Structure 1
Amino acid sequence: MDRKSYTAELAGLRELRAEITAAEKAVAAAQKELDKLTAQRARRVAGLAGYEGAQAAAVAKASGLSVGDVVRIAPLLDPTPAAVRAAKADDQAAAAPAPVPEAEPVAEPAVAVAPVLARPAPVLEQPAPAVEAPTEVEDQAVAEQPAPATALLVESDVSVAPVAAPVVESGPRELPTLPEGPAGGRFEAVTTGLVSKRPNFVQQARSTVFLDVATGVLAVRDQTVRVDLGARTPGEILDAVLHAAPGTERVYITAGAPWHDGAERYSTLKDAVAAWLNTPSDRWTTAVGSGRDKLAGHFVHQRQPVGRYAPAAAPDSGTTEIRSMGEWFDPDGADVVTCRQAFTLLWQALRRHWDEAVLMGSPSQTGRDLWSRTIPTTGKWAGGYPVLSEELRGLLHATGGQGRTELILPPRVPEQLPALVEYDRTFAYAKHLWKSPVGTPRRITAAAFAAMTEQEQTKALMSCSHWNVRVTVPQGWNHVGLLPAPVTGDRAWVYPSEPGATFTTWAGGAEVHLALSNHLAPWKVEILGGLLFEDGKPLDEWGKRLKSAWADLTNLSKLHGDERQRTAAYLASRAVRSVLLFGLGGFAQRPRLVSGTTPVGEALPAGVEILGQDGEVVTWQRQAGFSRDPYAHPEWAAYVWSGARAALLDMKYRQGKEVIGYAGALHAKPGTVVYFGTDGIALTERQPWPYRGEPGDYLLKGHLTGPVEHPTSQEQYLKLRGLGRAELAAKGTDQ
């Protein structure tokens, strides 16, 4: 071949490449259309199963499928006589060397069993405890091995003899479901005329001072003064502060907690706080509030109350608030000057990322305001993010739990703990803000989910979604529970782990995906319905800026040469955490609690709960339902909380796109997990989990050397946790 022929062949090869590319695109388009039509056919086949007289043979002929294919899509059309199926089940049971009983499914409308999302067992320096030898603890049996990836796509053609399984008792608290018909349309809708828009105004800073009530030291601007607080009532505090610093609009109490004075005279701490907030004064009255961003009345809380007062002689002249520094961070003995410096550093760190950053009264208000200034000005959501319908917000409020709090009791863990080791996820929620649900959700019925391909089902579960599911714990399971189940009482949610237990619940896609893909044993999850959102990034920019501010302050707290500045920077970094944590909680927009007071003897408003009473007034609160809040986005809070709960069980360490390790409760030995606390866990032994100082990493926070009596309550655990933190601080992390 000469050079001319070679050049001609290259030109011909390029033409052929272009033709092949065009043909590949045509094939891909045809395949996409074929997949769409196939899915449509499957949905129609599944829908025909709802007709009582439907026959598999007729459906198969009309659809061009075999009878077997029809039955796999719609098991209700199985023409096999019941007696034959029972005989097959008996034969299979006799032939099987070690049958695994399956809990009998509760009779429900059509459901779809989610596929097992197989994942290889992680490779770590410490072998993963996928199978653990049985111990004397009754519920620690050998874990069931993962089933093949297609094993649970549809119900088996062969019935398995039903076995009575323990069912989690949820009492009268039944979770809502998505209604059928026109009523269900409100659950796929947004509220008309209610959109989260970027603000066109600048927040006004409030004149703020910091007061140590225990010593009477007031930090105002760059100086401190000592003030006489008298009996430390709200009126006397306000008189003293405004005499020393006229024009003050907000007072943060850094130490002394005056609202607990005389608490022993009241049946509850909340009663004591309410009585203190409403201490009679000739000069001050409760502020009624008016205008944008001004709240009315006091907020009664056991440890972080808010008192709002106005001069009795001129109640419209302005409001002064008394608040707790604990809303932002635990001062932990820091003096009032250090607390003020922490606020200054916090403001400076935020101003580097927001030109209009203003510290508002609470971290929640500040977080929401800062987020609103990241709403995009271009692209699909430039006009703002729509607020979901009130019905859908109510559903998410009822079914989207917050952080996992669970004390695991014997015999699932030893009565005598060899040690109590605490791990805390650093700035945990910041790791889960990169993706969030946006727009109007699409309702997914059980039939629609069943009609999806396995690839489509997996994608749906990994997307921003919220699922109504019936769950069965696999036989042989010997570790902690994976999914929340609703119960009555203070706990609201429990995490069943008994093999064979069944329960119905709602859970986010992250948790459902983990239940199906964990490396120990996949759980059986039946999809009853769900909501599938568009994947978006409404919180990503907000989270990146807060993470950057947090990192700056964290580094300053380690490197600054002045000890006071190091402490102040650390406290400021904790305040950034509060801005994110409570800002996210603010999106949940729970039904409002309104508090107020009524003179003794006068009629109380309807539907109130009495919080306390003294000789002058009755303090009460009542639920006021959902407000027309343009920043109400419970779908964001629920999605982040779900991801954080999943990461308590299983978190990946990545280097770029490569997974280099795992952490979380499922990567500890069965029987070693003692406590879950929102973004941390306590175990009976150390774990080889690396700490890089990044959001989400597991930090060793405490180590209490055993033997330790197992705590029987959360209060006992918190005492032991404090001892463990003190011991670790005294001995160092390498003890």
Structure 2
Amino acid sequence: MDAQSYNAALSELRTVRDAIKRARTELSRLEGDRDKRITQLATYDKAKAERIAPAAGLSVADVVAVAPSLAPDSLAVTADKPQPQDAAPETLTPGVDEAAKPQGPVVTETSADRPQPTAPPASDESAVPATLPSASSARSLPSIPEGTTGDDWFTHTSGLASTRPNFTQQARSTVFLDTTTGVLVHRQQTHHLNLGTATAADILTAVFRTIPEGVERIYITAGDPWHRDADRYPYLRDAVAAWLNAPIPGWRTDTGRGRDRMAGHFVHARNPVGRYQRESGDSHVEIRSVGEWFDVDSDDPAVIRDAFVLLWQALRRHWNDAVIMGSPSQTGRDLWTRTIPQRGQYADGYPVLSEELRGLLHATAGQGRNELIIPPRVPDQLPQLVEYDRTFAYAKHTWKSPVGTPRRITATTFAAWSEKEQMRALYGCGHWQVRVTVPDTWNHVGLLPAPAPGERAWHYPATPGTTFTTWAGGPEIHTALTNPIQPWKIEILDGILWEDGKPLDDWAKKLKETWTNLSAQAQFHGDPVQARAAHLASRAVRSILLYGIGAFAQRPRMVTGTTPRSMERDVPADAEIIAFDDKHITWQKPTGFARDPNAHPEWAAAIWSGARAALLTQRHRDDNTYAGALHTPPGTVVAFRTDALYLTQPQNWPYHHQPGDYLLRGHLTGPLPAPTSEEELLSLRDAGRTALTTGQEH
């Protein structure tokens, strides 16, 4: 192949890329065609993956997956770390923007203020695909390097620590808008707006005409205007991006300001954030979805306004300077910083881990367990489907968190310890690399997460005799060793161990008290409107804690950019193309970790591990009993969804309205076809909740 034919082939590949986006019905055929052409291009001796990637609409990694010969040395996959001959692993025993389109590339950094997928509301995260990956297709998890290179990871980032703020957070003028009816609530006033087609321009024009003094935050309570042209786009994200970036005369994308500098729009399929600034620079405004805080059910904007007022009043009982910020995650972290002790060991703040350890935790510490179990592991026809949801679950696991400088616990070190020392370490705040073997006679659900294909996908092997290598927290390791059915074989390969501390305890206790107070108001208030507002406010408290924990995880920053089609070569080589039209290409790429003083992925990882373990077994001391999946007969667990269990039999588990208790949320009597997809499970879930509420489950 010569240069001319090479360039001609690139042009043809771009045509294929466009066709894939525009014709989803031909997706399978076109993707095959695309891969064939990539393979053909790879035969050119000067072919480069970074050149082919933007032409194909793929990342460099995806191109290399199709044509491995294009892989640079930096993308070579390393094998699992070998065990040193003098350090055999210990086997444990059971005892143990764009207002105007750019002429060149425009880059916007996605802010940390986003709906945290790292901590979704109960039962709202997508389930893991029912078909489990083969061992050969699962991704490999990183390891800590041997020797001094790995030892150097066990430190803190210089000059970076979480400290108590010395300023008062400023409240922002907020309105609540139903874009379906045009009803706008501002303070105690209700207005009716003509929103036209509900573009961002229509909304800003109507709101600022009605409230000339201006507002800084517009919560959309209903209507989802960013989905108005969804039928024109293959993916919701594309429709949302187009809605956010449509030109608005007199406005441009906000570049951020103040202590909580938030720049650019955040593209999210359901809860996007639009940030705009007047060309004159005298007004800044956000358009957000109230769905970040709680689910609404045809609630009037005035009720939602009352919910936020009740939330603010309840928080003020514990924080005299509490301010409700744009999102639950922002609010949660701001409130937490105001509980940092002013005296004692951490008066100077909680230091942030090295970037290497933060990256390792990001790659190896999963979140909520989401798994659908299909026949033959469950019956084809379910006798019943019963949903149990752990109330305010994560609040149950905040009483102890890792603090101090972490220690590396190698296989040799762990093996040299006594059984008592080993168990103390596993009871403590640790994150462990382990080799796991499922017992030969095991007949229940999987206990430990294993990496599956996908950036952050996990599955839970349960087939007898299966061996896999993974990372897991102490609560899960301990559960695997001491579960009520049969101990698993666990080999410690490496580990990170911290001191036990309580950095989140005061914050979580205040939020739990706030939640309890608002929940009581919702249950006993004589005015049904105020009772509903109190219920929504209690759900908002839950989101503050849930998303606040997710925010500690500090995912790597993602930069989004827009490049004219005529300048396609300027698309970064490591970028993923997420949308394009006839004139522009929109892409995104990770840029590593920010110097975030509140980045503590070790706290999020510990809470998530505790919550996953509690889905399996949880002791109720006051009742002297246990609850969880392992306390049900084999073959009766249908699904896990973050902090919810779906079973084929009802359970007599105690419920005292306390965080972590299993609440009966839905009940359907069968026979019912066993769900084999997320859509089918959610349909049955909704029917079960309705049946339980109306008393028609039998």
TM-score by length of structure 1 reads: 0.77
Alignment of 1:564-575 (within 5 A): 564-575=529-540
> In structure 2, what is the equivalent of residue 660 of structure 1?
624
Q: Which residue of 2 aligns with 1:83?
A: none
Query: Which residue number in structure 1 is paired with residue 345 of structure 2?
Result: 380
Residues 298, 595 of structure 1: 8 Å contact kept: no
Task: Give how far 1:641 is off.
Answer: 0.1
Q: Is the 8 A contact 2:366 2:456 kept in 1?
A: no
Show the counterpart of 1:482.
447
CA positional deviation for 1:291: 3.9
1:619-630 alignment runs, 5 A limit: 619-630=586-597
Deviations for 1:136-186, whole angstroms, at most 9, x for unmatched residues? xxxxxxxxxxxxxxxxxxxxxxxxxxxxxx996053621111111221123
Aligned to 2:35: none
Give the alignment partner of residue 308 of structure 2, picking from 343, 349, 369: 343
2:91 alignment partner in structure 1: 113
**Contact in 1 for aligned 2:133/2:453 (Cα 8 Å):** no
Tell whether 2:640 aligns with 1:686: no
1:435 is matched with 400
Equivalent pair of 2:393/2:643 in contact (CA under 8 Å): yes
| Equivalent residue runs for 1:108-257 within 5 Å | 109=85, 110-117=88-95, 169=135, 171=137, 173-245=139-211, 246-257=213-224
- Counterpart of 1:209, as a letter, is V
4+ runs deviating over 6 angstroms:
none
Cα shift readout 1:431-457 (whole Å, capped 9, x = no counterpart)? 000000001111111111111111111
Q: Which amino acid aligns with 1:494?
A: H
Unaligned runs of 5+ residues in structure 2 are: 1-81, 97-131
- Deviation of 1:600 (Å): 5.0
Shift of 1:266: 0.4
Partner of 2:427: 462
Whole-angstrom distance in 1 between the partners of 2:609 and 2:440: 25
How far 1:599 sits from its partner (Å)? 4.8
Alignment match of 2:232 (pick from 242, 250, 265): 265
Distance 1:712 1:282 in 2: 49
Task: Please report how far the alpha carbon of residue 107 of structure 1 lies from its aligned counterpart in structure 2 after TM superposition.
Answer: 7.1
Are the counterparts in 2 of residues 308 and 322 from structure 1 also a CA contact under 8 Å? yes
Given candidates 529, 543, 552, the residue that maps to 1:578 is 543
The alpha-carbon deviation at position 614 of structure 1 amounts to 4.0
1:719, distance to aligned residue in structure 2 (A): 1.1
Could you say which residue in structure 2 is the equivalent of 1:697? 661
Q: What is the one-letter code of the residue matched to 1:188?
A: F
Q: Deviations over 1:185-214 (max 9, x none)?
A: 232111011011001011110100000000
Quote the Cα distance in structure 2 between the aligned partners of 1:571 and 1:346.
9
Distance 1:651 1:663, change over 3 A: same
Is the alpha carbon distance of 1:345 and 1:258 closer, same or farther for their aligned partners in structure 2, counting shifts above 3 Å?
Answer: same
Residues 442-500 of structure 1: CA deviation (Å, up to 9, x unaligned): 11111111111111111000000011100111121110000011121377111011111
1:599 touches 1:618 (CA, 8 Å); kept in 2? yes
8 A Cα contact 1:423 1:681, kept in partner:
yes
Instruction: Tell me, in whole angstroms, the C-alpha distance in 2 between the residues paired with 1:387 and 1:443.
Output: 17
Q: CA deviation at 1:294?
A: 1.9
In structure 2, C-alpha distance between the alignment counterparts of 1:595 and 1:420, rounded to whole Å: 43
> Structure 1 433/197 Cα, relative in aligned 2: closer, same or farther at 3 Å?
same
Counterparts of 1:489 and 1:355, CA distance in 2: 44
| 2:29 equivalent in structure 1 | none
Structure 1 segment 313-712 matched on structure 2, within 5 A: 314=280, 316-489=281-454, 492-599=457-564, 601-602=566-567, 604-606=570-572, 607-614=574-581, 617-655=584-622, 660-712=624-676
**Alpha carbons of structure 1 residues 583 and 116: separation in structure 2 relative to 1, 3 Å:** same
State the 1:321 CA deviation: 0.5
User: CA–CA distance in 2 between the matches of 1:722 and 1:347?
Assistant: 31
State how far apart, in whole Å, the 2-side matches of 1:727 and 1:585 are.
33
Query: Does the 8 A contact of 1:589 with 1:633 survive in 2?
Result: yes
Could you tell me how far apart the structure 1 residues matched to 2:526 and 2:91 are? 60
SS class of match (2:135): coil
Cα-to-partner distance string for 1:330-385 (whole Å, 9 max, x where unaligned): 11221111111111111111111101100111000000000000001111111110
Equivalent residue of 1:377, what SS?
coil
Shift of 1:108: 6.4
Q: Give the letter aligned to residue 298 of structure 1.
A: H
Deviation at 1:283, TM superposition (A): 2.4
Q: Deviations over 1:227-268 (max 9, x none)?
A: 111111101101101111232000000000000002011011
CA 1:618–1:309 in structure 2 vs 1: closer, same or farther (change >3 Å)? farther
RMSD of equivalent CA atoms: 1.7
Q: Deviations over 1:406-438 (max 9, x none)?
A: 001111100111111100000000000000000
For 1:500 and 1:615, the matched residues in 2 are separated by 54
Structure 1 residues 626 and 535: CA distance shift in structure 2, 3 A: same
Output the CA distance in 2 between the equivalents of 1:551 and 1:261: 38
Find 2:268's aligned residue among 295, 301, 307.
301
Q: Matched residue of 1:187: which SS? A: coil
Give the Å deviation of 1:284: 1.9
CA positional deviation for 1:619: 3.2
- What is the distance in 1 between the residues matched to 2:331 and 2:696? 36
Shift of 1:605: 4.6
What is the CA–CA distance in structure 1 between the aligned matches of 2:150 and 2:398, rounded to whole Å? 29
Residue number in structure 2 paired with 1:6: none
Structure 1 residue 290: Cα displacement:
3.5
> Which residue is 1:149 aligned to?
none
Distance 1:643 1:172, change over 3 A: closer
> Is 1:277 aligned to residue 244 of structure 2?
yes
8 Å CA contact 1:274–1:611 kept in 2: the answer is no
Deviation, 1:279, is: 1.3
* Residue type at the aligned position of 1:292: R
How many angstroms does 1:621 deviate by?
Answer: 2.2
CA distance in 1: counterparts of 2:356 and 2:308, whole angstroms: 39
Structure 1: gaps spanning 5 or more residues: 1-105, 119-165
CA distance in 2, matches of 1:355, 1:491: 39
TM-score (norm 2): 0.81
- In the alignment, the residues of structure 2 paired with residue 378 and residue 526 of structure 1 have an alpha-carbon distance, to the nearest angstrom, of 41
Q: Is the 8 A contact 2:560 2:587 kept in 1?
A: yes
> How far, CA to CA, are the matches of 1:169 and 1:296 in structure 2?
42
Question: Which is greater in Rg?
Answer: 1
Distance 2:492 2:305 in 1: 52
Q: How far off is 1:292 after superposition?
A: 2.4
Q: d(CA) in 1 for partners of 2:421 and 2:134?
A: 31
Amino acid at match of 1:252: Y
- Asked if structure 2 preserves the Cα contact closer than 8 Å seen for 1:168 and 1:501, the reply is no
For 2:644 and 2:455, the matched residues in 1 are separated by 20
Tell me the amino acid that sits aligned with residue 493 of structure 1. W
